[in-house]
A = this chain, B = another copy of it.
Amino acid sequence: MSSAGNSGGQMGLLPEGLSDRLPPQAEASARLARDVIDCVSAHGYQRVMPPLAEFEETLTGRLKSARAQDLLRAVDPVSQRTLALRPDMTAQVGRIAATRLASAARPLRLCYSGPVLKLRANQLRPEREQLQVGAELIGSDSVVAATEIVSVAIEALQAAGVSGITVDFTLPDLIDELAADALPLGVDEIEAVRAELDSKDAGGLAELGSAAAAYLPLIEATGPFHAAMERLEAIDAGGVLASRIAALRAIAKPIGWDITLTLDPTERHSFAYQSWFGFSIFAEGFIGEIGRGGSYTIIHPDGREEPATGFSLYPDPLIDAGFGRTDERRIFLPLHADAERAKALRADGWRTVAALSAGDDGAALGCSHWLDGDTPRAY
């Protein structure tokens, strides 16, 4: 079994969806996570490290029941209880905010970076272990909070060198809000309307009757942000819709011209705890979202609900596609090379590779240069 060159691990050696990341992708992945964390830290987000595994009830307590099926479980002989590997860190950060940091001042800014493990891969991503890096702003889901979160997410990705970013805004609870008031729907109709909106099926929506047909303009209010917003504004639904429109415009305002903004007002995210605002992040040349975020609600142990806003990035697709590989300056040090000179080269950003024996081959070891006395020479 020699070097296979595939990034998905060797067939049969590792479980499906669990793989080794090799050089140079492993370093690119670590560097991207570091750049994101450095950026959000500069905006005051403080790092937390929740554990890899928790009691199953603790992890699922704050999540919709469907998500419990998505957990990889282990029986813990110490506690005699079932543990689950975390499939997501946002819920863990919410738990920390609601328990050990319940009395910390709000708004509370926390960030995190680490692996998460899913029971099953999805169609777009064969990996079950994924890197998640994110930031949560706990205590507010205001327009100002959402504006900060979107801005910081974009700035963090740009700091890591990601370009061609698209941000797609959504309004997760819009249908519920409209159905309750301006464009009334029966409880049983809501899910049918949602399904037709998900598939953007205008004909199917019209067939559901006149109440459902009132939602037809939402299908058109999708696409490039400003044009879609104008179509959204043309819908006469008063209060809720008007306030959502004003909020989206406020969040969009500080976003630079180099970001592509789109709107998909009825797009549903899979997180059950999301509230009025959501967004997905895409990068040019990569299939599938590389991040998402929005407003949501944290449930405290005493039942109290607390608003929060945050984002998570899942940068693995970028890394797999070759993002972030830089040319490292790697220099071979022959036997008995001057230690002080080598130290100076490292301080100057070189990576030194010392010979262990006279037979070591610097070029084969990936070095572009070798140290000839005091002088780096190209191979």
Contact = CB atoms under 8 A, between A and B. Distances in A.
A78 B145 CA distance: 40
A238 interface: no
Nearest to A78: B16
Nearest to A105: B364
A109 to B, nearest CB: 7
Contacts of A301: 1
A220 interface: no
Interface string A98-118: 011111110101100111010
Contact of A109 (B99, B101, B353): B353
B100 A15 contact: no
A47 B325 CA distance: 13
A346 B42 CA distance: 6
Contacts of A99: 1, 10, 13
**Residue from A2, A53, A83, A95 with most neighbouring chain B CB atoms (10 Å):** A53
B52 A115 contact: yes
A105 B74 contact: no
A357 B85 contact: no
Interface stretch (A17-25, A195-203, A204-212, A264-272): A17-25
A19 B46 CA distance: 17
A34 interface: yes
Given A47-B30, A144-B357, A54 B18 contact: yes
B117 A115 contact: no
A354 interface: yes
A43 B352 contact: yes
Interface string A56-77: 0010000000000000111111
Given A44-B354, A148-B354, A10 B100 contact: yes
A119 interface: yes
B52 A103 contact: no
Contacts of A364: 105
A292 interface: no
A247 interface: no
A3 interface: yes
A48 interface: yes
Given A18-B51, A50-B20, A351 B1 contact: no
Given A23-B47, A140-B356, A148-B354, A3 B55 contact: no
B17 A100 contact: no
Nearest to A5: B100
B1 A54 contact: no
A352 B44 contact: yes
A227 interface: no
Given A43-B351, A73-B75, A142-B357, A101 B15 contact: no
A250 interface: no
A292 to B, nearest CB: 21
Interface in A71-94: 72-79, 81, 83, 85, 92
- The 8 tightest CB contacts between A and B, nearest first, are A44-B353, A23-B46, A21-B49, A18-B51, A105-B364, A74-B74, A26-B47, A42-B346
16 contacts: A1-B99, A1-B100, A2-B100, A10-B99, A13-B99, A14-B58, A15-B79, A15-B81, A17-B78, A20-B100, A27-B41, A42-B346, A52-B117, A85-B85, A114-B115, A254-B339
